[in-house]
Amino acid sequence: MWALLLPITYLIGTFPSASLVAKANGIDIRTVGSGNPGASNVTRVLGWRKGIWVFVLDAAKGALAAGIGLAVDGRQAGYVLGAAAVIGHVFPAWQRFKGGKGVATGGGVAAVMAPIAFASLVALWFVISRTTKKASVASIVVVALLPVGVAVEQRGWWEVFAMIGICLLVMSRHLGNIRRLLSRREHAI
């Protein structure tokens, strides 16, 4: 059953939320700001309201995929199919495998699989991003803390490691941000 659902949840992950919201406002999001098709760049270019829409749409992709997994075959399937949506967001076939960074889509997976950790870390993301004016700093911190949140929720150790896997994928997409932060050239919100 998972083999049939993996490509479907990957395709869910490829839904181009940022591109569609930006295009509705007359902008090609890949050509402005950081060029990243994600909520942070949409926020930077079009403001908080549009950025929140993109965050919600991207998180819904991960939540839907994880929810399908839970319904079909429990928590393991929730993580596997949720990860497929994150991979679809990060490496969408329709965009030559150049997608977003996966923070919101991974957050959607967390919202289903570890809701208390997700809620806490969303609040922390807003505090850090408002304080530092850097979405990347907030994203890096919450992605690093998400597996800890899963452990605090007293999920099994395999779930902590499953979340670490998803977080490593998302963190790998932030290597350029980390380099820019270290050289003080990172984009502000």
Q: What is the pLDDT of residue 185?
A: 86
* Helix/strand/coil for 32: coil
Please give the tally of structural domains in the chain. 1
Q: How many of the other CB atoms lie within 10 Å of CB of 49? A: 10
Closest CA relative to residue 141, chosen from 151, 131, 155, 154: 131
Question: What Cα–Cα distance (Å) separates residue 36 from each residue in 28, 57, 150, 174, 176?
Answer: 10, 16, 28, 11, 12
Task: Please calculate the CA angle 159-90-94 and round it to the nearest 5 degrees.
Answer: 135
The pLDDT assigned to 2 comes to: 78
Q: Is residue 187 assigned to a domain?
A: no
Mean of the per-residue pLDDT values of the chain: 94
**Residue 189 within any structural domain of the chain:** no
Residue 188 lies in a domain: no
pLDDT the model gives residue 156: 87
Instruction: Give the pLDDT of residue 10.
Output: 98
Low-confidence ranges of the chain (pLDDT < 50): none
Give Cα 36 to chain centroid, integer Å: 13
Establish if 13 belongs to a structural domain: yes
Phi/psi for 187 (5° steps) reads -70, 140
Q: Which residues span the domain enclosing 116?
A: 2-182
Give the predicted TM-score (pTM) of the model: 0.94
Residue 90 lies in a domain: yes
Within a domain: 170: yes
- Evaluate whether residue 78 is within a structural domain: yes
Q: What's 96-146 look like in SS3?
A: CCCCCCCHHHHHHHHHHHCHHHHHHHHHHHHHHHHHHCCHHHHHHHHHHHH
Cα–Cα distance for residue pair 63/187, rounded to 1 Å: 28
- Structure tokens, 183: 């050289």
Q: What pLDDT is stored for residue 177 in this prediction?
A: 84
